[in-house]
Amino acid sequence: MKKFILLFIFQLTIVFPGMGQSVAIYDNNTNIELAHQSIYALKIQSAESLLQTEERANPKNGYIVFNRFYAEVIDLVISNSPDTYKKVSPKLDEYIDRIEKLPRDAPDYKMLLGEAKVYSGMLNVKYGSKLSGMLECLKGYKLLESNGKQYPEFEF
């Protein structure tokens, strides 16, 4: 019986080669750090190239989604265009939905989601409903505050 189980597991690893390997869901590695710096330096194409490289190596890395969200936020703040906000707003919501679907068992989850909600709320205050924007900022702040209490040693 043991031989059958071992043979079955071996065959599964051949059919599904990624099975059993841990995939980094939150990996703030060099590609991610450089992409974030590039976004901050307004080198969006360079950042996207780094994120694509990271996506090929680690497609489930939650920092990829966050940095793409962040690039859109920076672009909206600089463009100062309500029309652009109306076009991009659904995309921002999609990024937040994708972050919300990430595993919740790491301090990175609440940090990424909290920051995304604060940024989204600030944009909503600027371009949309001030009340719903403030509420979104508050939700983000509460996530970040809760994360700090739950993971006091976590530093980004």
Residue 13: pLDDT band with limits 50, 70, 90: very low
Asked if residues 120 and 95 have their Cβ atoms less than 8 Å apart, the reply is: no
111, exposed or middle or buried, with CB in 10 Å at 0-12, 13-18, 19+? buried
Tell me the pTM. Answer: 0.82
For 104-127, write each residue's pLDDT tens digit: 999 999 999 999 999 999 999 999
- 97 occurs within a structural domain: yes
- 18 occurs within a structural domain: no
d(CA 68, CA 7): 43
- 6 occurs within a structural domain: no
Which pair of tokens denotes residue 13? 């690893």
Q: What's the domain count of the chain?
A: 1
- 52 occurs within a structural domain: yes
For 119-151, write each residue's pLDDT tens digit: 999 999 999 899 999 999 999 999 999 999 999
Asked if residues 60 and 50 have their Cβ atoms less than 8 Å apart, the reply is: no
Contacts 24+ apart (CB under 8 A), 78-85: 78/42, 82/127, 85/123, 85/126, 85/127, 85/128
Asked if residues 65 and 116 have their Cβ atoms less than 8 Å apart, the reply is: no
- 93 occurs within a structural domain: yes
- 9 occurs within a structural domain: no
